[in-house]
Amino acid sequence: MSTSNFIDHVKLYAQAGKGGAGAVHFRREKSVPKGGPDGGDGGRGGHIILQGSAQLSTLLHLRYRKHVTAAHGQSGAGGCRFGATGADVVLQVPLGTVAKDGATGQILLEIIQEGTQKILMRGGRGGLGNVHFKSATQQTPRYAQPGEPGVEGWVVLELKLLADVGLVGLPNAGKSTLLSVVSAAKPKIADYPFTTLVPQLGIVACRDKQSFVMADIPGIIEGAATGRGLGTRFLRHIERNAVLLFVIAADSPDIRQTYDTLVQELRAHDPELLDKPRLLVLSKTDLLDKKDERAVVTNLPSKVGYTLISSITGQGIDLLKDKIWQLLHA
């Protein structure tokens, strides 16, 4: 997926339809010259609806659609005829989409299942016709209700990728190489920082024909929470992950410090991320000899499980998948 095509944040103005007005009408027939009221109700205004689609992986199709407007309901008519309901507007969105109020940031709804439909902006109710206002003391009511306005306002749509496992690490830590080895994903890989500019997803096959979904997000650097590097823009993509893998190159000068930096940035973004099960993955072990490996292991952060891997030689890959599977089903 190219950088230009991956859009995970859009802002648009959504306006639901206004309800139709109720009718003021009286029954008039040749044999009934002074019939009673028979004005029908107005139709409901159209809703703005979000529908989940597993066929979409980005909000690109909504990037330039700045205004979304549903149809108004039609007015009622004589003979107690109801006005037509305004046509709804159904916006297809990828699974994992969150809708927020554009002014307050309050979460309005989330779409996480295929085919799920949720009303983003509700159309106004149609007004009641004058037939509803007939009474013993008012036989010929000459008024009806106007339709209610539809809900409208600025809305922000954000995409949070749905994945079982999220890869967290500094730029050039080997996350993309790992994803390319354990899945069919083809992320861009190079020997310079920030090769990954958009999140990548891959399906990882396990034993007994089982599988799970792994997400690789752009690398984090110290100060990301305050906007350095790529900031924490993409960290929301791991908010729904069940397990976090902290990927650190085995030849890093200070693995413990690197781990603490990653933990600190996650805490600054959302402290609840640290409640998730985690596993420390030491990548690029093919660059170390056995003596160096033993030295690295003796200086690892405490209270976190670890595994050593090499995406080049395949060392530890199967063991890593087994450990991930155990964490996912603990």
pLDDT, tens only, 265-281: 888 888 998 999 999 99
Mean of per-residue pLDDT scores for the chain: 86
The mean-pLDDT minimum among 86-90, 160-164, 254-258 falls in 160-164
Q: Which CATH number fits domain 165-328: 3.40.1190.20, 2.40.50.140, 3.40.50.300, 3.40.50.20?
A: 3.40.50.300
Q: Which residue has the tokens 């997400």?
A: 215
- pLDDT surpasses 90 at 7: no
- pLDDT surpasses 70 at 14: yes
Comparing CA positions, the residue from 244, 221, 241 lying closest to residue 231 is: 221
SS3 state of residue 309: coil
Facing residues of 53 across strands? 94
Q: Give the Cα separation of 167 and 243 in Å (integer).
A: 9
Q: What pLDDT is stored for residue 117 in this prediction?
A: 97
CA angle 102, 106, 112 (to 5 degrees): 100
Residue 127 exposed, middle or buried by CB count within 10 Å (0-12, 13-18, 19+)? buried
- pLDDT surpasses 80 at 297: yes
Architecture of the CATH domain 3-159:
Distorted Sandwich (2.70)
pLDDT tens digits along 110-135: 999 999 999 999 999 999 999 999 99
Question: If pLDDT is split at 50, 70 and 90, which confidence band does 222 have?
Answer: low
Q: Give the Cα separation of 275 and 81 in Å (integer).
A: 58
Q: What pLDDT is stored for residue 302 in this prediction?
A: 80
183 vs 49, residue with greater confidence: 49
- pLDDT surpasses 90 at 171: no
Read off the pTM: 0.74
Comparing CA positions, the residue from 110, 230, 218 lying closest to residue 160 is: 110
186 vs 181, residue with greater confidence: 181
214 vs 196, residue with greater confidence: 214
Encoding tokens for residue 148? 């209610």
- pLDDT surpasses 80 at 246: yes
Q: Looking only at Cα atoms, what is the longest distance across the chain? A: 107
The H or E element containing residue 278 is strand 278-283
Q: What pLDDT is stored for residue 189 in this prediction?
A: 47
The H or E element containing residue 267 is helix 255-269
Q: Are 178 and 167 in contact (CB under 8 A)?
A: yes
- pLDDT surpasses 90 at 162: no
> What residue ranges of the chain are covered by domains with CATH 2.70.210.12?
3-159
Q: Are 43 and 82 in contact (CB under 8 A)?
A: yes
Q: Are 46 and 72 in contact (CB under 8 A)?
A: yes
> What residue ranges of the chain are covered by domains with CATH 3.40.50.300?
165-328
Mean pLDDT for the stretch of residues 156-181: 87
Q: Give the Cα separation of 169 and 217 in Å (integer).
A: 9
Q: Which residues have CB under 8 Å from 109's CB, separation 6+? A: 50, 98, 99, 118, 120
- In 10-34, which positions are buried (b, 16+ CB within 10 angstroms) versus exposed (e)? bebebbbbbbbbbbbbbbeeeeeee
Q: What pLDDT is stored for residue 173 in this prediction?
A: 81
User: Which CA distances in Å does 315 have to 24, 185, 228, 282, 318?
Assistant: 80, 20, 34, 11, 8
pLDDT tens digits along 233-243: 667 777 888 99
Question: If pLDDT is split at 50, 70 and 90, which confidence band does 29 have?
Answer: confident
